[in-house]
Structure 1
């Protein structure tokens, strides 16, 4: 009797372990399962959009454009990636998409070193890759769709020169120091202001693509360099984070703040005068055109390898925007 009870206990323990393993590996094979589901519903193609982080407001706008295009062209679209910016997780998701032989992949080319081999691997398996927002020009990616990031930074620098007078001590906060698009935005800004003796670039620090990271970086810089009277934030949440610090320290009136993107909070901060200007990208359009481009590539059409979306500067006088945070929506 005791042996029967022991066997039953062991059986339920093994069953529980089996369920846990099944759930774990089910997550790891979601791409393959999704492809089977797509085939059953008779979608035209199965594409995957891999963002830098899935719940970032900017990338949700890219997703929105991609989903609208997917609906238009009868595409099964997956939106998958790290919850917070994580290079290893991003690469793992990319590799899983390749392994499941999806019909097309859209992703950032954050780092040439890590992403070029994966992009080339996908191309070798005849899976077209479109880079979005951040290019990987040394790879075999088929098309890049997004901002000319160097030009965007240069445009921010030109606007900064127009908007300011006198000595400016600038703190730069960037999303990730190792991300190629962030580097280009900083480089462009520096080149635009380098011949102006009144502009002094103090230091560049990282926000890790989070508002909290921008708050911490801005606070530390102001405490360490009290002469700072201007900030330039190069990723979507940097402006709001810097603005929070300027409000807390009562430095809004004496600090010029150049932000990036038109998220709703950024627009509100421009309207109230806390942020002076922002660089406008078109994330919705990037997502829409990325899906559309993959469809054209699957049909054998030749596409321009680089397709830059428009970049402009918005100040308070330019508001209201028709679609704050969703600039570039197709109609």
Structure 2
């Protein structure tokens, strides 16, 4: 899910995690590595899962975000890299500078050539990346998706930040409370093909059909393409084209922060409500100046941490991704694998003026 803003460079975020920047061979983007390579790790997963198998040492696991300069996904991948290092392996982040549907494919192909032990990816498009991911799996490289899923047959495990239905429905509840249960609303999403965004939006639409929301009208869905400036412009266009708009839901950290930045210095401040999914550090100033009342998110570092453990467990043969298996995830404890290989991190936290200073991510 989520900013191209030069003011929030990924290096700023990565500094606190202690990672080293390097170039990826064969890719034009940036690579972030963590931990010395122990070497000698074999590639692929065993055919039959053995929950008592030890995690292989020296695993090479690559994290492929939607775009390399997205602060949210940098936090996620830093958490994953930390997990891999904790397990005695080597993690790195590689990725494109744009969030287009096919931009990740060349990186997947390069990671296959490099014989990575596992690939962890937030898919820009569930179908565009599928052939390359299937190729990786056919060569014994396990695939874990996080944040935004790929086609279910193109990965073994999907680490979901929270229950998709809960995310979508809770967003409607938040905006309804803020606008008094009546008025026109819009959604400012990421890219049109983003699996997570579209799933959440479908649940939002369904929630809006309930009698308690009969006074709320969804008038438009806009797309900022996970780009800070475009999201800013889309928020501006929404407010100018719908003069009686009462609220905006932006279920993307790029979109909500860009929209908040626009509203904060506009005549719409205090008149148009904004909620969605954002990080506390991005949104703190907008909570404190009254632009935003409440928004939600999970801990992105923990999402990456869980994905890192899942990838290592797959590569070591501890799990296969089958429903009912148990993943041992370090400080996060155990997680059961659900239908279609889904593992859920946990419910999102709602942030407001009373608790936002308790969080730093």
Q: TM-score, normalised by structure 1?
A: 0.82
Residue 154 (structure 1) aligns with:
169
Is 1:282–1:310's contact at 8 Å kept on the other side of the alignment?
no
What is the CA-CA distance between 1:28 and the residue it aligns to? 4.5
Gaps of 5+ in 2: 1-22, 42-56, 320-324, 326-336
- Structure 1 residue 51, shift from structure 2 partner: 0.5
Instruction: Answer yes or no: is 1:209 the counterpart of 2:209.
Output: no
Gaps of 5+ in 1: 1-23, 326-331
Which of 312-321 and 74-83 deviates more?
Answer: 312-321
**Does the C-alpha gap of structure 1 residues 127 and 114 become closer, same or farther in structure 2, counting only changes over 3 Å?**
same
Number of aligned residue pairs: give it: 298
The one of 186, 190, 194 aligned to 1:171: 186
Deviation at 1:268, TM superposition (A): 2.5
Counterpart pick for 2:76 among 50, 62, 71:
62
Are residues 1:97 and 2:111 paired?
Answer: yes
Do the aligned residues in 2 keep the contact of 1:117 with 1:139 (CA within 8 Å)? no
**Greater relative contact order (Cα < 8 A, sep 6+):** 2
In the TM superposition, what are the counterparts of 1:1-331 in structure 2 within 5 Å? 27-28=26-27, 38=37, 44-147=58-161, 148-195=163-210, 196-302=213-319, 303=325, 304=337, 305-325=341-361
Give the 3 Å change call, closer, same or farther, for CA 164–222 of structure 1 in structure 2: closer
Larger Cα Rg: Structure 1 or Structure 2? 1
- Separation of aligned partners in 2, 1:280 and 1:175: 16
Deviating more after overlay: 60-69 vs 164-173: 164-173
Equivalent position SS for 2:128: helix
- TM-score with structure 2 setting the length: 0.76
Deviation string 1:145-201 (CA, Å, 9 cap, x unpaired) is 122334311111122233331532112100111111111122122222223221011
| Distance (whole Å) between structure 1 residues aligned to residue 342 and residue 260 of structure 2 | 34
More helix by share: 1
Please give the alpha-carbon distance, in whole angstroms, between the structure 1 residues aligned to 2:282 and 2:92.
27
Q: Relative to 1, partners in 2 of residues 1:135 and 1:166: Cα closer, same or farther, differing over 3 Å?
A: closer
Question: Partner of 1:16 in structure 2?
Answer: none
| Paired residue secondary structure (1:169) | strand
Pair 72,259 (structure 1): closer, same or farther in 2 beyond 3 Å? same
